[in-house]
Amino acid sequence: MNHAMPAEEPLIHELSFYAANKHKWLASHPNQFVVIAGDRVEGFHADYESAFNAGLKAFGLGQQFLIKQICETEPVYVVY
C-alpha cells in the first residue's frame, strides 16, 4: 500500500487548531469526536456518524470540516 495523502493537507489549519486545544479537550471531552471548521468548534460527539451529521448541518456542503477523535495517543489502525 502507498501513501495517498494530497501534497497539501486541506485541513491543515483545523489540525493545528486541534493540536493547540488537544490537552484542554482531553480533560473535558476524552475520546469524543470534535468537529472543527476554521477556528470554529461545532461541538463534541460520541461517535463519527453524529459528528459528521452535525458538521454537515452546521457548515453545509460548501465548507470543509475536520472530524477528530480526542485521544491522548493518536489511534493507529492496522491493515494486515
Partner 1 sequence: MAGRIVVRISPAELQRRGPIIKVLISHTFAEITEAKSVGFEFPESLPFSALIDTGAAVTVINPRLAVRYKLRYTGPERITALGHTGQYPGYAAAISFPDQQLRAFDTVRIIACELASAEMSCLIGRDILRYWELIYNGASGEFAIRDLRP
Angstrom distance (rounded) from CA 1 to CA 9: 20
Candidates 20-28, 38-46, 57-65 — which segment interacts with partner 1 by CB under 8 A? 57-65
- 8 belongs to the binding site for partner 1 (CB under 8 A): no
In the complex with partner 1, which residue's Cβ is closer, 28 or 63?
A: 63
Q: How far is the CB of 24 from partner 1 (least distance, A)?
A: 19
Of 61, 75, 19, which Cα lies nearest the Cα of 34?
19
Angstrom distance (rounded) from CA 1 to CA 36: 29
Cβ count within 10 A of residue 31: 11
- 67 belongs to the binding site for partner 1 (CB under 8 A): yes
Q: Which residues bind partner 1 (CB under 8 A)?
A: 1-6, 9-11, 14-15, 48-49, 52-53, 55-57, 60-61, 64-68, 74-80
